[in-house]
Amino acid sequence: MKAWESNIRKVTPYVPGEQPRQSNVIKLNTNENPYPPSPEVAKALRAMTTGTMRKYPAPDAQPLVGEIASFYHLKPEQVFAGVGSDDVLAMCFLTFFNSDRPILFPDITYSFYDVWAELFRIPYERIPLDEAFRIRPQDYFRENGGVIFPNPNAPTGELLAPGTVEEIVSHNRDVIVIADEAYIDFGGESVLDLTDRYDNLLVVQTFSKSRSMAGMRIGYAMGNRELIAYLNDVKYSFNSYTMNEAALTLGTAAVRDRAYFEETTARIIRTREEAKKRLAELGFLVGDSKANFLFVTHRTCPAKEIFETLKKAGIYVRYWDKPRISNYLRITVGTDEEMERLYAFLETFLAAHAACD
């Protein structure tokens, strides 16, 4: 070992889903939206010029922050924007989780949480989901340094009702509770309204899923102005210009097109509900997901085998060789055409494999 090695911050990084470069794959592995962004985004893109690149972008992320605020009937001081919700959540960990007590999150959840906790040296504890992969609110009624969970949870898709989230928030008034609502627009009810009554609640959302803009990297946090001010202090101590000019302009155009947003999320919800039926007919046990993905296990065929076979056929889904979920697949909801090709392939494959029928 070299002398300087002991001074290196060693981390085990987050592993993102594969991004195959071939264009003929059916990509159902990273929860991207199968539809393009709003046509208003394309229009705004065509209107952009390189002249704006000469200058630094707005450090306060306007006009995007103002547009998000008006969409959700908030004041701009209640909105913080960042480079995808991954950036926003990392800032939140740095800003709000500074206790010697462990922060709490589910054992089966978004796999970035433990990576940030390790990176920032925040003590943490994973709270097991129940047998049905649901969060038990009472498990979070104890001393801790903060709480974070996705709602709906990932990769399970299980949604907590606002009243259940409120139970967790009200039992944790002395720490910050973060509801990561990356998938809330696919049929869930946001707890944003609760931020009026609970100053310790922060709601984080993203443009990556319901607004079809994963590649632009836009995420945001909403809550009372004090929490947002603390987040901004940390951001300005780190990098004032996290969001580039194109993201600010194109994100603003996306938020303005409410009709397109509502139409495409409704379409994904319809495809998801159909997928629950079709996959069940193929012998899968399908959880009641309220997200743009399904978490499934097959009655007889091992998940790993299905995963590998699908991949060879150019159909990418997500599989984790991890405790409790190593026999599950997470399948992102694609277009109806993509899903039909998935069902057709699975039907043939499962019929041909004696061990898997």
Ligand X SMILES: *Cc1c(COP(=O)(O)O)cnc(C)c1O
| CA 301 vs CA 50, 244, 298: distances in Å | 53, 46, 6
Helix or strand holding residue 274 (H, E): helix 258-281
Smaller CB separation from ligand X, 182 or 231 = 182
In this chain, which stretch among 83-91, 96-104, 334-342, 343-351 interacts with ligand X, using CB under 6 A? 83-91
Residue 174 CB, nearest approach to ligand X (Å): 25
Q: How far is the CB of 218 from ligand X (least distance, A)?
A: 7
Residue 117 in the binding site for ligand X (CB under 6 A): no
149 vs 349, which CB is nearer to ligand X?
149
Cα gap 304→319, rounded to integer Å: 7
Contact between 85 and ligand X (CB under 6 A)? yes
In the complex, what is the shortest distance from the CB of residue 286 to ligand X, in angstroms, rounded to a whole number?
19
Integer Cα distance of 246 and 207 in angstroms = 14
Q: Binding to ligand X (CB under 6 A): which residues in 170-199?
A: 180, 182
Q: Binding to ligand X by residue 110, rule CB under 6 A? A: yes
Tell me the site size for ligand X, rule CB under 6 A: 13
d(CA 160, CA 190): 10
Helix (H) / strand (E) element for 227: namely: helix 225-236
Cα within 13 Å of Cα(287), Cβ side: 26
171 to 138, 143, 178: CA distances (angstroms): 9, 10, 14
Q: Site residues for ligand X, window 145-164 (CB under 6 A)?
A: 150, 154
Using CB under 6 A as the binding rule, whether residue 208 contacts ligand X is answered as yes
Answer whether 122's CB lies under 8 Å from 116's CB: yes
- Does 332 help bind ligand X (rule: CB under 6 A)? no
Q: Does 82 bind ligand X (CB under 6 A)?
A: no
User: Which range of residues in 10-18, 20-28, 79-87, 165-173 is near ligand X by CB under 6 A?
Assistant: 79-87
Helical H segments across 29-187, by residue range: 39-47, 64-71, 84-96, 113-119, 162-170
- Residue 317 half-sphere exposure toward CB, CA atoms < 13 A: 28
Please name the residue that has the structure tokens 């055409």: 337
Q: Is 86 in the site for ligand X (CB under 6 A)?
A: yes
Distance CA 279, CA 308 (A): 18
Residue 84, interface with ligand X (CB under 6 A)? Answer: yes
- Residues 22-61 touching ligand X, rule: CB under 6 A, are 31
**Among 21-29, 78-86, 139-147, 271-279, the segment contacting ligand X (CB under 6 A):** 78-86
Alpha helices in 120-195 (DSSP H): 162-170
Smallest separation, CB 198 to ligand X (Å): 21
**DSSP letters along 42-63, please?**
HHHHHH--GGGGGSPPPTT-TT
Q: To the nearest whole angstrom, how small is the minimum distance from the Cβ of residue 287 to ligand X?
A: 16
> Tokens standing for 325?
């979920």
Min. distance of Cβ 234 from ligand X in angstroms? 17
Closer to ligand X by CB, 206 or 350: give it. 206
CA distance 158 to 188: 10
State in angstroms the smallest separation of the CB of 351 from ligand X.
33
Task: Say how many Å lie between the first and final Cα of the chain, rounded.
Answer: 52
Which of the residues 221 through 280 are near ligand X (CB under 6 A)?
Answer: none
CB 159 within 8 A of CB 210: no
| Closest residue to ligand X in the complex (CB) | 84
Provide the minimum distance between the beta carbon of 98 and ligand X in the complex, in angstroms, as a whole number: 21
Answer for which of 106, 188, 219, 287 binds ligand X (CB under 6 A) is 219
166 lies in the site for ligand X, by CB under 6 A:
no
The contact set with ligand X (CB under 6 A) reads 31, 84-86, 110, 150, 154, 180, 182, 206, 208, 214, 219
